Chain A
Amino acid sequence: MTEILIDHVVKDFTIDRRSVRAIDDISLTFPSGSFSALIGPSGCGKSTLLRLVADILAPTAGTIRVGGLPPGEARLRHEIGFVFQDASLLPWRTVLENIQLPLEVAGGPIGDGPRPENLIRLVGLSGFENAKPAQLSGGMQQRVSIARALTLRPKVLLLDEPFGALDEITRQRMNMELLRIWQETGTTAILVTHTIGEAVFMADRVHVLAAHPGRLVTSIEVDLPRPRELAMLQTPAFNHFENAVRAALFGDELKAVSVG
């Protein structure tokens, strides 16, 4: 199965010849098939952490394992699907051609990977196969990018604030669909977000990070039943988890003030 392990990971960046610590000794486990959220202020390294798991960046120290493999190996086995903050579609390709891009790169489907036509249906874009990205709304573009991330049947789905640019209503609807897709595909999902409600609604576990340097504050188990439903947003249990995340986020800030 595909558990993701992050073990004492440190990441430094060099900015103007000065070394800046983006991630300071974070250890996390993402159980196989779980949905986790990373939340924190900007500069807490949540997107960096996601890029380390995807082997876009390499850690300065520590180890990462994706289903027991180093990220680079998992990546070349097409076990990682990545959804970017902007849809990052190739504007000269149609919806179908964008979804087929991973197949072209990998030289064909991986195992019994899903057919692009089925993926288009899965993300609710039937009838838009031949549309160009410029003809789609932001939400529809992001659906295409989710379908594209699933083309090679990845075991891991990494989502970097995928709905950050969408309005509240569209975002809520997309989140519901994302949960449905996640449950149908059985991937291990990590969602980077800066919205407390979104993190609680989506995840089994919310990891709260603090900034400068990026470090783990606490992890909160969200013990809400699945499938998650919109009505849960108004329950005391949901508020309880929201408050716990909020306390973890702002408690850290208060500490920083009293120290400085």
Chain B
Amino acid sequence: MAETVAASRERRKLSLGGLAAPLAFAIVLIGLWKLLVTAFAVPAYIMPPPEAALAAFEADPGKIGLAVFYTLRNAAAGLAVAFVVAISLAAAFVNSKAATRAVLPIVIGLRTAPVLAIAPILIMVFGRGIGTAIAVVVIVSFFPIMVNAMKGFSSTRKNALELMHVLGASGAATFIKVRLPFALPFIFAGLRSAATSAILAAMLAEWLSGAPGLGTMILDAASYRKNDLLWAAVIVSMVLAYLIFSLTTAVERRLTSWRG
């Protein structure tokens, strides 16, 4: 039995390191792109060939790199705030019915309000810089983390809670030693979907506020008809979202390897 568990863990590690398959598929996609553009003679102002996008990337890697940095920074900062807010709210809701009744409807209201509708207010309050970007990212990404964390915190096995009670553990000790670890798989499920939408939200915030970043770069490239740069930026943003998704998955595997 010990051997089989070890073996399955080994297999999983191998498949995690298997970047070859997605890379091969990406190359196939780029090949299809090239084929499509050549076969149907798609004009470059609609869809440039892949080498043109690559050239645009090579022409000014610093500019794209800086845009990636801004977007990534805003997404990461927003995600960090969202994570803290979401976990705190979820912990409060699980521990107190009164808090749930008072705060949850407002939280859901905030969530369902379209970001576009409240964007002007956010820009007025937080300015045209990182503040608005963080606010938009928080609004978009805290909800999946919170919902999953709530599910996770209330999924703790009853016997484990009774055990901590018999041991005379404080609420804080029970939370840190039992509730939080049991909830980690749920929290990561939320974090995974939140992390990818955080990139999207950061770019959206740039569109709304005009702050520098990948979103603004795409918007500018589109309006100046810099089609090669536009496609380069779009692909970079997709790769970025994919990498972040993979990163959260890898961290999750590490922290929750105890799950059979």
Hey, which bits of chain A sit against chain B, CB under 8 A?
A: 51, 54-56, 75-76, 78, 80-82, 84-86, 88, 90-92, 101-102, 104-106, 131-132, 134-135, 137, 152
Q: Is B29 an interface residue (CB 8 A)?
A: no
A91 vs B173: C-alpha distance when bound (angstroms): 17
Q: B122 CB to closest chain A CB, in angstroms?
A: 40
Q: Is B160 an interface residue (CB 8 A)?
A: yes
Q: CB distance B259 to A106 under 8 Å?
A: no
A85 vs B178: C-alpha distance when bound (angstroms): 18
Q: Is B260 an interface residue (CB 8 A)?
A: yes
Q: A85 CB to closest chain B CB, in angstroms?
A: 8
Q: A113 CB to closest chain B CB, in angstroms?
A: 13
* Known A56-B162, A106-B168; further 9 A-B contacts with Cβ < 8 A: A55-B165, A76-B168, A82-B162, A82-B163, A84-B159, A86-B159, A90-B178, A105-B173, A105-B177
A72 vs B160: C-alpha distance when bound (angstroms): 18
Contact pick for A135, options B2, B160, B168, B256, CB 8 Å: B2
Q: CB distance B181 to A90 under 8 Å?
A: yes
Contacts of A51 in B (CB 8 A): 162
A54 vs B163: C-alpha distance when bound (angstroms): 10
Contacts of A55 in B (CB 8 A): 165-166
- Which residues 145-191 of B have a CB within 8 angstroms of A? 157, 159-160, 162-169, 173, 177-178, 181
Q: CB distance B177 to A101 under 8 Å?
A: yes
Contact pick for A134, options B163, B165, B169, B260, CB 8 Å: B260
A91 vs B159: C-alpha distance when bound (angstroms): 13
Q: Closest A-chain residue to B3, C-beta based?
A: A135
Contacts of A102 in B (CB 8 A): 167
Q: CB distance A91 to B259 under 8 Å?
A: yes
- What are 20 A-B residue pairs whose CB atoms fall within 8 Å in the complex? A51-B162, A56-B166, A75-B166, A75-B168, A76-B168, A82-B162, A82-B163, A85-B159, A88-B159, A90-B160, A90-B177, A92-B256, A105-B168, A105-B173, A131-B2, A134-B5, A134-B258, A134-B260, A135-B2, A152-B167
Q: How many residues in B have their beta carbons less than 8 Å from beta carbons of A?
A: 22
Q: Closest B-chain residue to A86, C-beta based?
A: B159
Q: A74 CB to closest chain B CB, in angstroms?
A: 10
User: Which of B165, B178, B256 has most A Cβ within 10 Å?
Assistant: B165
Q: CB distance A78 to B181 under 8 Å?
A: no
Contacts of B256 in A (CB 8 A): 92
Q: CB distance A88 to B160 under 8 Å?
A: yes
Q: CB distance B160 to A54 under 8 Å?
A: no
Q: CB distance A132 to B166 under 8 Å?
A: no
Contacts of B173 in A (CB 8 A): 104-105
Q: CB distance B167 to A105 under 8 Å?
A: yes
Contact pick for B169, options A80, A82, A91, A105, CB 8 Å: A105
A76 vs B165: C-alpha distance when bound (angstroms): 9
Q: List the 4 shortest-distance A-B pairs measured between CB atoms, nearest first.
A: A92-B258, A88-B159, A105-B169, A91-B258
Q: Closest A-chain residue to B258, C-beta based?
A: A92
Contacts of B2 in A (CB 8 A): 131, 135
Q: CB distance A84 to B258 under 8 Å?
A: no
Q: Is B39 an interface residue (CB 8 A)?
A: no
Q: CB distance B166 to A88 under 8 Å?
A: no
Q: A96 CB to closest chain B CB, in angstroms?
A: 15
Contact pick for A78, options B1, B168, B258, CB 8 Å: B168
Q: CB distance A101 to B167 under 8 Å?
A: yes
A126 vs B232: C-alpha distance when bound (angstroms): 60
Q: A140 CB to closest chain B CB, in angstroms?
A: 10
Q: A151 CB to closest chain B CB, in angstroms?
A: 9
Q: A92 CB to closest chain B CB, in angstroms?
A: 4
Contacts of A81 in B (CB 8 A): 166
A92 vs B180: C-alpha distance when bound (angstroms): 12
Contacts of A84 in B (CB 8 A): 159, 162-163
Contacts of A105 in B (CB 8 A): 164, 167-169, 173, 177
